[in-house]
């Protein structure tokens, strides 16, 4: 039903406009005119219109559409919110399989709107009709000359190979217009709106199977079903590149009860989940547009380190591009001696020819230079940058280079110059199938997107999730109990003893000190205290009975009844490793720099769980401070495989034990002897089946 409903939504054989108007400029009039101008069989429904071409009911509109050789697949509802559910029922009864609702006044306005929305949802469930909206400005498919939009300029959009799925109808149109200024057309553009039925995941699945779509561009504000979205993106990215922009980087999860919860904001989690599914995640709208244009060049073969080459007519802009590629982690391999020899036949010796290739002012032989670069065995994609000069026809040169080259390496062209000259070159380039951008930054972003898409398609060899069994539930999980759980699944903690702060416990303190030896740490032991240092609940460097007694006195003064005494760990690098149950995406794991400043630093990597140890191991490479794990300035070297196993194990514990909300190790210290969990927190709050007790 899902596929059929969306086919009839985005490629209808006829459309009914419910609430069509005879007044020019009104929503019902504009929608009917837009659909009619594309040659679609349209039925205008308005029982009060009494004008030629208008009919009183959806049933009459369906008859009219069929008389024109069409089918009433789509219903465009231009009626107030309160009339939506009855109009939806009438449309479905007349044969509509899909509907567009542009009006507002539903759940977003409060209780009254929520009741109206519930009626609409009930009608969707009863009839099986698919619905885009409410609060959507519509959709358009230029190749089909289909415009279900009240924005006049949508009629002039270019047909092309990009599918846009935007949370906002305004952003859907904005991206479509911006792509048009870049000479790029759309296969489909959809504004999801409130998304009470059709959401991003549905449209992504549709576009994944759409032969007219080569690249999918996503704009996301809110995710209702994270796992469904991830599954759709993962499936789509196997067939074609997906680019995603997530809005809301300043959002902080209010439900967080630990460092992991505070760090794994919905913005971070959504971005990480989409990247894990194979999407090229971008930072802003310009980045989304440039990446989309670049990916139209064609996909690179999957590669963890695809190489980019740059051929530039001006050294200064070339340096800007090369620098931006370096920041993005894109490799620019030195060209082989044979390649440089080929290039040297066409360029003066003063030019730099190793990569980037600085041609000076491009001239005769430019096509041969580009062909030589494209043929280099270390080069997977070529970027070309130049100013508009009358010396070389860039488009013709690239076309010739493709003929000369023995490889089919994707090429992206970036240029700057007078607007009228750029417009002419852009038109020629896009007409020749050469992706075109303006500005050094845009070219760097386009090339980086191609390389990132190739990297994302490389999967670790092991694809089996960590095998972690169920854990017996306890009434309370203090640090000692949590560390015992971790030790049972192979995650070591320091040697430790629990002391009750009564006379017998205090008398035992000296024996514990002697047993552990060396320096010890004393901490408040209370399952309700998650951040001990915040209340003065940790004493370190205790060497003798006097300092231990003073620590016990201090802990008792803040309300401690039990104390955990454990051996001091050697120095090293402190990490935070956590797993939490995200309300949208389910179990997720997090790795970052740890300690008391974990939230302030915010250097983290996130993945959905369960995941394999190989996938978890790769998370460390995403940290800005990854070099600290590799023996920085003589420090300890982290066993990356062991770290990955710990991350995967925490995720597995949440995946197999629905009653665990969060499980965190902070810090997990990397020492020369290995890794050790210095502090651990386990948070419950759910029933054994994962439901909340108050539900």
Asked, for residue 166, whether it belongs to a domain, the answer is yes
Cβ proximity of 55 and 45 under 8 Å = yes
Domain count, the chain: 4
Spatial separation of the C-alpha atoms in residues 169 and 150, rounded to whole Å:
11
Cβ proximity of 8 and 98 under 8 Å = yes
Spatial separation of the C-alpha atoms in residues 295 and 690, rounded to whole Å:
41
DSSP notation for 273-328:
HHHHHT-EEESSHHHHHHHHHHHTT-PPPP-TT-BEEEEES-HHHHHHHHHHHHHT
Number of neighbouring beta carbons within 10 Å of residue 621 = 12
Phi, psi angles (nearest 5°) of residue 689: -90, 5
Number of neighbouring beta carbons within 10 Å of residue 399 = 17
Spatial separation of the C-alpha atoms in residues 131 and 9, rounded to whole Å:
8
The boundaries of the domain holding residue 511 are 495-567
Blockwise average pLDDT, block size 10, the chain, 695 residues: 80 97 92 94 91 94 97 97 97 98 91 96 97 95 96 93 95 97 97 95 97 97 92 97 90 39 71 96 97 97 96 94 97 97 91 92 88 97 92 90 93 96 95 96 98 92 70 89 95 94 88 91 92 92 93 95 94 94 93 76 89 92 92 92 96 92 95 95 80 59
Domain check: are 545 and 626 in the same one? no
Domain check: are 535 and 639 in the same one? no
User: Sheet harboring 538-542: ordered strands across?
Assistant: 496-500, 562-567, 520-524, 538-542
Asked, for residue 670, whether it belongs to a domain, the answer is yes
Q: Which of 278, 282, 254, 279 is nearest to 266 (CA)?
A: 254
Domain check: are 520 and 601 in the same one? no
Asked, for residue 282, whether it belongs to a domain, the answer is no
Asked, for residue 197, whether it belongs to a domain, the answer is yes
Asked, for residue 27, whether it belongs to a domain, the answer is yes
Domain check: are 29 and 105 in the same one? yes
Last residue of a domain, one of 567, 587, 618: 567
Domain check: are 556 and 623 in the same one? no
Q: What CATH number did the domain enclosing 661 receive?
A: 3.30.470.20
Asked, for residue 204, whether it belongs to a domain, the answer is yes
Q: What is the pTM of this model?
A: 0.92
**Cβ-proximal residues to 694 (8 Å cutoff; 6+ apart), any chain:** none
Domain check: are 422 and 521 in the same one? no
What per-residue confidence (pLDDT) applies to 254? Answer: 41
Q: Which of 679, 279, 685 is nearest to 473 (CA)?
A: 685
> Where do runs of H (alpha helix) occur along 457-544?
479-488, 503-516
Domain check: are 306 and 405 in the same one? yes
Domain check: are 577 and 557 in the same one? no
Q: What CATH number did the domain enclosing 500 receive?
A: 3.30.1490.20
Q: What CATH number did the domain enclosing 392 receive?
A: 3.40.50.261
Q: What CATH number did the domain enclosing 80 receive?
A: 3.40.50.720
Domain check: are 577 and 549 in the same one? no
Asked, for residue 60, whether it belongs to a domain, the answer is yes
Last residue of a domain, one of 425, 456, 487: 456
Domain check: are 630 and 675 in the same one? yes
For residue 22, with 0-12 CB atoms within 10 Å meaning exposed, 13-18 middle and 19 or more buried, which class applies?
Answer: middle
* pLDDT tens profile 258-287: 334 445 558 899 999 999 999 999 999 999
Asked, for residue 316, whether it belongs to a domain, the answer is yes
Domain check: are 111 and 204 in the same one? yes
Find the helix or strand (DSSP H, E) in which 436 lies: strand 436-438
Last residue of a domain, one of 508, 542, 567: 567
Phi, psi angles (nearest 5°) of residue 116: -65, -45
Domain check: are 444 and 512 in the same one? no
């Amino acid at each position: 039903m899902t596929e059929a409903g969306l086919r009839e939504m985005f490629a209808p054989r006829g459309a009914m406009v419910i609430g069509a108007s005879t007044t020019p400029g009104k929503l019902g009039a504009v929608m009917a005119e837009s659909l009619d101008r594309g040659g679609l069989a349209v039925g205008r429904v308005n029982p009060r219109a009494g004008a030629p071409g208008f009919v009183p009911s959806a049933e009459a509109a369906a008859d009219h559409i069929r008389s024109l050789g069409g089918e009433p697949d789509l219903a465009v509802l231009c009626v107030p919110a309160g009339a939506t559910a009855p109009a939806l029922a009438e449309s479905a009864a007349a044969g509509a399989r899909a509907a567009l609702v542009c009006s507002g006044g539903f759940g977003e306005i409060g209780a009254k709107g929520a009741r109206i929305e519930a009626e609409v949802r009930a009608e969707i469930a009863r009839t099986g009709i698919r619905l885009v909206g409410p609060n959507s400005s519509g959709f358009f498919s230029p190749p089909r000359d289909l415009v279900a939009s009240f924005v006049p300029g949508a009629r002039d959009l270019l047909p092309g190979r990009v599918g846009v799925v935007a949370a906002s109808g305004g952003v859907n149109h904005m991206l479509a217009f911006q792509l048009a200024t870049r000479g790029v057309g759309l296969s489909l553009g959809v504004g999801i709106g409130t998304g009470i039925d059709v959401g991003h995941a549905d449209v992504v699945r549709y576009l994944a199977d759409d032969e007219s779509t080569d690249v999918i561009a996503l704009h996301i504000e809110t995710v209702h079903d994270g796992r469904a979205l991830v599954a759709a993106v993962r499936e789509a990215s196997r067939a074609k590149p997906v680019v995603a922009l997530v809005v809301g980087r300043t959002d902080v999860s209010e439900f967080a009860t630990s460092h992991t919860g505070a760090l794994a904001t919905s913005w971070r989690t959504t971005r990480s989940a989409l990247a894990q599914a194979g999407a090229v995640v971008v930072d802003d709208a310009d980045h989304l547009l440039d990446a989309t244009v670049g990916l139209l060049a064609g996909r690179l073969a999957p590669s963890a380190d695809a190489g980019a080459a740059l051929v530039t007519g001006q050294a200064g802009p070339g340096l800007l591009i090369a620098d931006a590629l370096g920041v993005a982690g894109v490799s620019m391999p030195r060209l082989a001696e044979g390649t440089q020899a080929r290039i040297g036949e066409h360029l003066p010796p003063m030019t730099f020819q190793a990569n980037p290739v600085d041609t000076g002012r491009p001239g005769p032989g430019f096509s041969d230079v580009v062909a030589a670069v494209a043929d280099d065995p270390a080069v997977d994609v070529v970027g070309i940058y130049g100013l508009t000069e009358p010396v070389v026809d860039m488009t013709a040169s690239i076309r010739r280079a493709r003929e000369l080259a023995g490889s089919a390496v994707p090429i992206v062209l970036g240029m700057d110059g007078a607007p009228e000259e750029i417009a002419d070159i852009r038109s020629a380039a896009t007409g020749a199938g050469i992706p075109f951008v303006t500005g050094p930054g845009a070219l760097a972003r386009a090339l980086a997107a191609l390389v990132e898409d190739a990297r994302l398609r490389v999967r670790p060899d092991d694809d089996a999730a960590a095998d972690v069994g169920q854990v017996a539930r306890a009434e309370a999980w203090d640090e000692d109990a949590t560390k015992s759980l971790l030790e049972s699944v192979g995650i070591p903690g320091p040697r430790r003893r629990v002391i009750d702060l009564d006379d017998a416990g205090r008398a035992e303190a000296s024996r514990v000190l002697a047993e552990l030896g060396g320096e010890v740490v004393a901490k408040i032991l209370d399952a309700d205290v998650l951040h001990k240092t915040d209340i003065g609940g940790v004493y370190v460097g205790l060497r003798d009975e006097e300092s231990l007694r003073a620590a016990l006195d201090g802990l008792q003064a803040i309300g401690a009844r039990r104390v955990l005494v454990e051996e001091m760990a050697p120095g090293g690098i402190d990490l935070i490793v956590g797993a939490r149950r995200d309300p949208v995406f389910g179990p997720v794991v997090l790795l970052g720099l740890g300690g008391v400043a974990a939230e302030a630093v915010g250097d983290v990597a996130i993945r959905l769980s369960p995941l394999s140890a190989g996938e978890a191991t790769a998370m460390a490479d995403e940290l800005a401070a990854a070099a600290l794990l590799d023996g920085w300035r003589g420090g300890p070297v982290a066993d990356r495989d062991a770290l990955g196993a710990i991350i995967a194990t925490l995720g597995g514990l949440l995946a197999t034990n629905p009653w665990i909300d969060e499980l965190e190790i902070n810090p997990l210290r990397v020492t020369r002897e290995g890794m050790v969990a210095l502090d651990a927190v386990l948070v419950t709050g759910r029933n054994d089946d994962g439901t909340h007790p108050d539900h």
